[in-house]
Amino acid sequence: MSELLAIENVTSGYGESVVLDDVSLRVNEGGSLALLGRNGVGKTTLLITLMGLTRLHGGTLRWRGEDLARLSTHERARAGIGWVPQERSVFPSLTVEEHLTAVARPGPWTIERVYAMFPSLASRRRNFGGQLSGGEQQMLAIGRALMVNPSLLLLDEPMEGLAPLVIQELRGIILDLIATAQTAVIIVEQHAKLALALTENALILDRGRVVHQSTSAQLLADPATLHRFVAVA
Amino acid sequence: MPDDVATRPVRLPDDRWHPLEIVFWLGLVTAFFLFPGYRVLGSQILITGLFAVSLDLILGYAGIVSLGHAAFFGVGAYTAGLLAVYGWGEPITGLFAGAATAAIVGYGTSFLVVRGHDLARLMMTLGIGFLLFEAANKAAFVTGGVDGLSGVVMWKLFGVFTFDFAGRTAYLYSLAVLFILFVVLRRVVASPFGLSLIGIRERSRRIPAIGAPLRQREVAIFTISAAVAGMAGALLAQTTQFVGLDVLSFSRSAEVLIILILGGAGRLYGGLIGAVVYMVAQDILSTYISAAYWRFWIGLLLVAIVLVAHGGILDGATAIYRRLTRGRS
């Protein structure tokens, strides 16, 4: 598999402050990575850095061999990075269908395909974003990101605050996404075991630095490391 | 999928024309025949309504606040007025010239406006409004200054219809321009571009992350809004055959903001309904109650509307309409 994203020795943060310190990682086309670690270690900052919303103090970001850092946020989205932020950012006064059509870009993901993947969205297509449940908002945020037809999907704690049944459903959907292998996925998750079961590779951050990197299967079989750096749920 | 009234979005306009919309437009046509003595007032209501719709594009959709929208109205008015004074009194081309100059000024100033946040935008638009007002005041040799621009002579519309004092041509011309522009803008706000504007209003920081260039979209809608405001100004200049310095005044900027909020922002129709209610109320109050203190009653009306339905008349009416239709089904 060819390289999609490569982060090399990246140091970034907000203004003068540094949150990420000398972080390197690689994601292949269609690959999947679980980004783990305790609260406040820089997982979300890493995703935000990929979107160009932090200050990059040093290091390089490569996207299919090109320099990603010189692209603005909307250009990165159009180049194929789909970000599903933790707070979901659903628009209260757009309908489900409007969320999807407003951002649509040509590619394999169409509105029909998103509805096929999320039947509960299809049945609520005329409802406003503000009328949806937490699980539906999460699905809508993912569906909206897919409509931009990303090559890499950044999922920031997609399961947070959702009911167990909804987590089950979403888990199946993310597994599906990774299995079809058209879209690479980076998933930030507090439920470490859940994320590891879904992904191919894993990376643990601690205080802004990479402290562990392996396949997800290896990390699952290494409870000592998990206990040391991740709150295991 | 069956249309369930309870779950259907109530935001107007969506893709299909609602029966009430058709009633609304037929009502404007009917008013022409029902109130022949009020056609001049009627045409000014239509023009003010168009001006309020232009403000709705930036305020109600993209969430860009402005206290100086009269700048673009005034630029359009002076463009059309000056063209006619200097020998080109053809209405339709004058209208487009007014829109074009307002769009140019709007595009140029948009970069100053969109870069800031709400308070900075208020100050910036206010400042731009003052600048243009004083510039027109000082350039009396062109604009007529405080005396206004007189000598505006309009040619017949399509070479057939004279602009008469009874406001017959003025009303129908204003209504036609308003309707055509409205149909176009209705499409614009329902398009992905228009939807992204609502996204900008609600989660502006997240908009670039879903592939929409925030600043470019804000500049685009600000320019379109300025062009529409310019057309409204041009309509006023042409139908009254006069341009007063007040077209650029702060009170006109404030008034259009009041009208839009009174009617309800973010639905295109709010500006039109606000203009009808505000100007009819103003006419009745100043004629029958007190010419001097009509603002007292307008103030009372505003306070009442905000208390009862803070989304404006349109929001309050929608709530009542939904309750009625739900009761029926």
Residue B251 has pLDDT above 90, yes or no: yes
Domain ranges of chain B: 19-328
Q: Find out whether A153 and A184 touch, Cβ atoms under 8 Å.
A: yes
The shortest CB-CB distance from B199 to any of A53, A94, A104 is to A94
The shortest CB-CB distance from A103 to any of B4, B9, B211 is to B211
CB atoms under 10 Å from CB of B62, counted, come to: 25
Q: Tell me if A102 and B195 make a contact (CB, 8 A cut-off).
A: yes
Angle B244-B168-B142 from CA coordinates, rounded to 5°: 20
Structure tokens at A120: 């509960």
pTM of the model: 0.86
Chain A and chain B share a number of CB contacts under 8 A equal to: 64
- Per-residue pLDDT, A228: 84
Residues of B in contact with A85 (CB under 8 A): 206, 209
Which residues of chain A are under the pLDDT cut of 50?
A: none
Residue B237 has pLDDT above 70, yes or no: yes
DSSP B147: G
Q: Tell me if A102 and B199 make a contact (CB, 8 A cut-off).
A: yes
Task: List the single best residue of A71, A72, A74 to mutate versus B (max B Cβ within 10 A).
Answer: A74
Q: What radius of gyration do chain B's Cα atoms show?
A: 20
DSSP A79-126: HTEEEE-TT----TTSBHHHHHHHH--SSS--HHHHHHH-HHHHTTTT
Superfamily designation of domain A3-87+150-227 = P-loop containing nucleotide triphosphate hydrolases (3.40.50.300)
Give the mean pLDDT of B9-34.
79
Q: Tell me if B198 and A83 make a contact (CB, 8 A cut-off).
A: no
Which range is most confident: A26-40, B96-110, B211-225?
Answer: B96-110
Q: Which residue type sits at A169?
A: E
Q: Tell me if B208 and A126 make a contact (CB, 8 A cut-off).
A: no
- Per-residue pLDDT, B324: 83
Residue B82 has pLDDT above 50, yes or no: yes
Which tens digits make up the pLDDT trace of B114-170? 988 889 999 999 999 999 999 998 988 888 888 888 888 888 778 778 888 778 899
- Per-residue pLDDT, B206: 80
The shortest CB-CB distance from A102 to any of B11, B196, B209 is to B196
**Alpha helix (H) ranges present in chain B?**
19-34, 39-56, 70-85, 91-114, 118-138, 140-143, 168-190, 192-203, 214-240, 250-263, 269-284, 294-308, 312-328
- Per-residue pLDDT, B116: 83
- Per-residue pLDDT, B209: 84
Residues of A in contact with B213 (CB under 8 A): 72, 74
DSSP B17: P
Residues of B in contact with A94 (CB under 8 A): 195, 198-199, 202
Mean pLDDT of chain A: 90
Q: Give the distance, in angstroms, between the CA of residue B53 and the centroid of all CA atoms in the same chain.
A: 4
**Cα-based distances in Å from B125 to B64, B104, B120:** 10, 15, 9
Residues of B in CB contact (< 8 Å) with A are 1, 4, 7-9, 11, 192, 195-196, 198-199, 202-203, 206-214, 266
- Residue B10 — very low, low, confident or very high, per pLDDT cuts 50/70/90? very low
Please list, in sequence order, all residues whose beta carbon lies within 8 angstroms of the beta carbon of residue A215, skipping any fewer than 6 positions away: A200, A201, A202
Q: Find out whether A193 and A186 touch, Cβ atoms under 8 Å.
A: no
**Alpha helix (H) ranges present in B36-69?**
39-56
Residues of B in contact with A102 (CB under 8 A): 192, 195-196, 199
CB atoms under 10 Å from CB of B190, counted, come to: 19
Residues of A in contact with B11 (CB under 8 A): 93
Residue B2 has pLDDT above 50, yes or no: no
B145: left (phi over 0), alpha (psi -120 to 50) or beta: left
**DSSP run (H or E) holding A11:** strand A3-13
**Cα-based distances in Å from B174 to A103, A229, B28, B171, B281:** 36, 70, 11, 5, 21
- Per-residue pLDDT, B5: 36
**DSSP run (H or E) holding A172:** helix A164-180
According to DSSP, the residues that pair with A203 across neighbouring strands are A35, A213
The span from the CA of B62 to the CA of B70, in Å, is: 18
Q: Is this complex's ipTM strictly greater than 0.90? A: no
Q: To which residue do tokens 């228009």 refer?
A: B194
The span from the CA of A165 to the CA of B252, in Å, is: 57
Residues of A in contact with B211 (CB under 8 A): 74, 77-78, 103, 105, 148
SS3 (DSSP) at A69: coil
Which tens digits make up the pLDDT trace of B175-201? 999 999 999 999 999 888 998 898 888
Q: Tell me if B7 and A126 make a contact (CB, 8 A cut-off).
A: yes
The CATH architecture assigned to B19-328 reads: Orthogonal Bundle (1.10)
Nearest CA in chain A to B1: A123
Closest CA to B136 of B153, B149, B120: B149
Q: Which residue type sits at B34?
A: L
- Per-residue pLDDT, B202: 86
- Per-residue pLDDT, B4: 39
Domain ranges of chain A: 3-87+150-227
Q: Tell me if A77 and B195 make a contact (CB, 8 A cut-off).
A: no
Smallest Cα distance from B141 to chain A, Å: 48
Nearest CA in chain A to B3: A126
Task: List the single best residue of B203, B210, B217, B315 to mutate versus A (max A Cβ within 10 A).
Answer: B210
Please list, in sequence order, all residues whose beta carbon lies within 8 angstroms of the beta carbon of residue B251, skipping any fewer than 6 positions away: none
Share of chain B above pLDDT 70, in %: 94
Mean pLDDT of chain B: 87
- Per-residue pLDDT, A9: 94
Which range is most confident: A192-196, B206-210, B247-251, B281-285?
Answer: B247-251
The span from the CA of A137 to the CA of A131, in Å, is: 9
- Per-residue pLDDT, B327: 58
Smallest Cα distance from A80 to chain B, Å: 9
**End-to-end alpha carbon distance in chain A:** 32
Q: Find out whether B148 and B184 touch, Cβ atoms under 8 Å.
A: no
Closest CA to A5 of A167, A169, A176, A201: A201
Smallest Cα distance from B63 to chain A, Å: 13
SS3 (DSSP) at A32: strand
Residues of A in contact with B214 (CB under 8 A): 74
SS3 (DSSP) at A177: helix
- Per-residue pLDDT, B14: 59
Q: Tell me if A101 and B192 make a contact (CB, 8 A cut-off).
A: yes
Q: Tell me if B210 and A103 make a contact (CB, 8 A cut-off).
A: yes
Residues of B in contact with A144 (CB under 8 A): 210
Residues of B in contact with A74 (CB under 8 A): 207-209, 211-214
Residues of A in contact with B5 (CB under 8 A): none
Residues of A in contact with B16 (CB under 8 A): none
Do strands A55-63 and A3-13 pair parallel, antiparallel, or not at all (unpaired)? antiparallel
